[in-house]
Homo-oligomer: A and B are copies of this chain.
Amino acid sequence: MDDQAIRLRKDRAAFKADDVKVDLIALVVAVNDSEPCVLTIGQADTLPSGPFALEHRSLQSGLRGWVEQQTGHRLGYIEQLYTFADRDRIGAERQQRVISISYLALTRKEQAAGSPKCGWQSWYEYFPWEDHRSGTPPVVLDVLRPRLIEWANGVRDAATRRERWQRATIAFGFDDRLWNEELTLQRYELVYEAGLVQEAVRGRDAAPPPLVPSKSMVADHRRIVATGIARLRSKIKYRPVVFELMPPVFTLLQLQRTVEALAGRLIHKPNFRRLIEQQELVEETGEATTETGGRPAKLFRFRHAVLDDRLIAGTKLPLARG
């Protein structure tokens, strides 16, 4: 039957007018002094972004252009995060759709001179419940747990109640379940659904509700950050991406602190060192530094050769479960 083919072509033609605007959004991450940071503009509430335009050679180069212009940073490693088109994102004047393509970029903080109107923020400012390096942060049990219980009990249906509480239990590791650092996005979605972040109650003119203390962001940028954190926490376990965040030369402890900063949890030192060395991810420079205090630490550099063959095996990092 060729009707189908013809109808197809006609339908496709009929849609010609529905052009959309495409926005590129960058989540740029660096780690400095054991603190994972994201690059922001505005009131530390906006990610670098800009429209995809004709003169851009590709999506990635368009993104690089915007970030460079807005923050003065040259991006290195880039990977696509997610593409979305929310209903809320329709332009007011014309009925027009906006598609947002978000990217995750990894750099080093010192790389560029700070541009005006941009700065680095610890990502734990936006997600205070994600940093478990000094044990479970108080906000989890003191604030989130009771609020999420309230939220779960806020519905009639018993099944929904149970389902809500189960989701919270899994995501936050309540009731002796273990904390899974990779569930950052699920956790953000929970606190959003429960109306505990500013973004969720924006535009509503109800009485100011009791929010969980945390820094909010413009539009859905905080959601993008959550997506990026989750992606990064998962990826460091099987790809040597940490090195994109390291200076050319570093000590093993610095490397460990960086991974810990990203993962939001501590790592058993001997295991970490064994794993790094047996995988031959790094090589000694022959130098050592005394700046760390204590016994001078050997300096290492990343073995770029592994970028090739680590495609096979994957890099594993020992993230302690307990």
Contact = CB atoms under 8 A, between A and B. Distances in A.
- Copies of this polypeptide in the complex: 2
A143 interface: no
Interface stretch (A16-24, A127-135, A198-206, A278-286): A16-24
Interface string A152-173: 0000000000010011001100
Contacts of A52: 18, 20, 85, 97, 99
Interface string A43-60: 000000011111001110
A59 B84 contact: yes
Interface residues of A, number: 52
A295 interface: no
A292 interface: no
A170 B308 contact: yes
Interface stretch (A3-11, A27-35, A104-112, A254-262): A3-11
Chain A binding surface, main DSSP class: mixed
A293 interface: no
A196 interface: no
Contacts of A58: 85-87
A177 B116 CA distance: 51
A180 interface: yes
A312 interface: yes
A218 interface: no
Contacts of A163: 308
A183 interface: yes
Contact of A53 (B15, B70, B86, B115): B15
6 smallest CB-CB distances across A and B, nearest first, come from A19-B19, A1-B116, A83-B83, A15-B51, A18-B53, A15-B53
